[in-house]
Structure 1
């Protein structure tokens, strides 16, 4: 993550000035490393490939989704955005633009579930998106029926899938017990 690379750089920069503090930080940074920060060279940040993600369009979509979530809140169907699931339907020309984030779209929209489908599958209840500046995009926001994770508050079908943590989703179990999640974009 960005924070990891910042820590890797800063500990090296501060080592000549705050040598004991830098050594202590060095011992607590994750990953395999040499015994001392003074045995290392400058950290090189890996070059991230340019992503073909249209962030402007995604943020406009987020505005439309937020509007729909507020309508659900006003009717009492949900209490918070994480209580919702969102389905985005779009014409083939727009599909790749909105599907680029994959599973991480839900984090951008701050919902428990978000998925992109082709417009042909759009139900009659789907509402046309107006802020995207494009025709051919519809949104269906609904209350999620999945159980709520007590740690992240996301409503996920996999809550309770680990017997050791019956109130947690698989993502939280991985973050607590395992290596944790590795996000790409959001």
Structure 2
């Protein structure tokens, strides 16, 4: 009798329902495998520099997000660089530095899309700032504010400029009034 209870199917679950469940499970598993395969192939197609920099950039975005959240930008500002009201004229970048700045910008944007936390413009700007310092590319980190469309609230934005190009946060920076620019200490002394 005890064996019979286990041999009998629970009421309400038919063989067709079980088959349907197995089919849906198989489809969802195959979609997950296809998604992972697609991401791995996309990762393999990245240029070597961006592949090598992706994981450190992802970690740097997390560190920047955590630092802004728990320490606050007011305290971080002294480590970011020398604050200026008006950004200085940026030096013209040679071809190698310009290419490096573009690669860093692409890598930061790619890593920001794949973080489980929200990597806003400030975290991206701080991560770009650190990476550009490591690779000794002259740049400026800018902060700006603008009124929202309804006119009641202010919207803040951060972006990084290297040479004549925006590394991160370059969309619509014309509508923001600059409230501060940070020049790296090493670059300022040159």
Larger strand proportion, structure 1 or 2? 2
Which one has the bigger helix percentage? 2
Larger Rg: 2
TM-score (norm 1): 0.30
Given the two structures, how large is their TM-score scaled by the length of structure 2? 0.30
> Which of the pair has the greater relative contact order for Cα pairs under 8 Å at 6+ separation?
2
